A = this chain, B = another copy of it.
Amino acid sequence: MPDTNISIALIQLSCSEDRDANISKTIKHIKDAAQNGAQIILLQELFNTIYFCQTVDEENFNLAQSIPGPLTDQLCELAKELEIVIVAPFFERRAAGIYHNSLVVIDADGTLMGTYRKKHIPDDPGFHEKFYFTPGDDEYRVFDTKYVKIGPLICWDQWYPEAARITALKGAELLVYPTAIGTLPDEDESMGQEFLEAWQVMQRSHAIANGCFVAAVNRTGQENNINFWGHSFVAGPFGQMLVEAGREEEILIKEIDLSNIETQRQEWPFFRDRRIDTYKPILKRFID
């Protein structure tokens, strides 16, 4: 029998204005996690910068990196050295005037497997993403890494069952959601609790509907007006909360058994009964 257990690490950190310091801190924690057996490293959204979308400022386009580029070179080398898979989300400069909220998936041999570009772009008070990020025009993707088939999505994508479904239908065993979510000063503790619960319920539902694992990695700390709430977690294929961080910096390491996916889908055979003949209206904006 092949070993179906894999160990994943969720790196939940705060960020400063100093990009190099953010990268160094993250790499230190990646090395620690690998030392502790982690095979898959999941970083938070825009991992090497503050969440700069609180302001609308053209200067911030200078924070974007090319893919490939020095940052991915550095991470590929690290992945190869430690024989780990890394999912690294950061601000991508694709071309003059085309910037994305992206991530790269790097295999355990150091290969840059490819990018995923955030499809659903929010724009709300404190979260001015539509100014910075061109919506991804690539497909939903699954990366068949050394240890697990990873279906990466990014933050706002997490509210859309369609994105999770398509990624799961492509064979994802582990959906990952790097995130930057928190509360504004006028949102009190009870609202914060309600938001956090909705955020977790929504992503756990993707695990349930699709019978796969879900890992969400949020940042933490106060940045200007936003208090990022952390609470990164891993859910099992029936939405079970397997492990959950608190509000502070924390590295979650969790071993998961991929054979649970097939068992789950046999016991609760949702894929078998999908009525694909009835779903076409989902392609509409609204049905008046």
A135 sits at the interface (CB 8 A): yes
Given A165-B161, A202-B209, A284-B169: A278 and B239 within 8 A (CB)?
A: no
**A112 → chain B closest CB, angstroms:** 23
| Contact A269 B205, beta carbon cutoff 8 Å | no
Tell yes or no: A285 within 8 A of B by CB: yes
Interface contact A282-B165, CB-CB below 8 Å: yes
Q: Is the CB of B279 within 8 A of A205?
A: no
Q: Mark A205-244, 1 if CB is under 8 A from B, else 0.
A: 1001100000000000000000000000000001110000
* Chain B, Cβ-Cβ closest to A204: B201
Q: Which of A47-55, A77-85, A94-102, A114-122 contacts B (4 or more CB under 8 A)?
A: A114-122
Q: Is A197 an interface residue (CB 8 A)?
A: yes
Number of residues of chain A lying within 8 A (CB) of chain B: 51
Residue of B nearest to A270 (CB): B159
Q: Does A19 contact B (CB under 8 A)?
A: no
A201 to B205, Cβ gap below 8 A? yes
A279 near B270: Cβ-Cβ < 8 Å? no
Contact A274 B162 (CB under 8 A): yes
Q: A259-286: contact bitstring with B at CB < 8 Å (1 yes, 0 no)?
A: 0000000011111011110111111111
Asked if A238 and B194 make an inter-chain contact with CB atoms under 8 angstroms apart, the answer reads: yes
Q: How far apart sit A92 and B122, CA to CA, in the bound complex (Å)? A: 45
Q: Which residue of B lies closest to A138 (CB)?
A: B278
Chain B residues within an 8 Å CB radius of A159? 208-209, 268, 270
Distance A274 CA – B287 CA, assembled complex (angstroms): 14
**Which of B122, B169, B201 is within 8 Å of A281, CB to CB?**
B169
Cβ–Cβ contact B161 & A205, under 8 A: yes
Interface: A58 (CB within 8 A): no
Question: Do the beta carbons of B160 and A120 come within 8 Å of each other?
Answer: no
Given A165-B282, A202-B239, A286-B169, decide whether A160 and B208 contact each other with a Cβ distance below 8 A.
Answer: no
Does A198 interact with chain B (Cβ within 8 Å)?
A: yes
Q: Which of chain B's residues has its CB closest to A171's CB? A: B287
Contact of A276 among B194, B197, B274, B284 (CB under 8 A): B284
Q: Is A148 an interface residue, CB under 8 A from the partner?
A: no
Chain B contacts of A67 at CB under 8 A? none
- List B contacts of A3 (CB < 8 A): none
Kindly state whether residue A124 has any CB partner on chain B within 8 Å. Answer: yes
Nearest-Cβ distance from residue A104 to partner chain B, whole angstroms: 20
A170 interface residue (CB < 8 Å to B): yes
Which 4 residue pairs spanning A and B have beta carbons closest together? A205-B205, A161-B161, A166-B281, A170-B287
- The contact sample of 17 A-B pairs, CB cut-off 8 A, is A119-B278, A120-B275, A122-B273, A135-B275, A161-B209, A162-B279, A169-B282, A169-B284, A169-B285, A170-B287, A197-B239, A201-B205, A201-B239, A202-B209, A204-B205, A276-B284, A279-B282
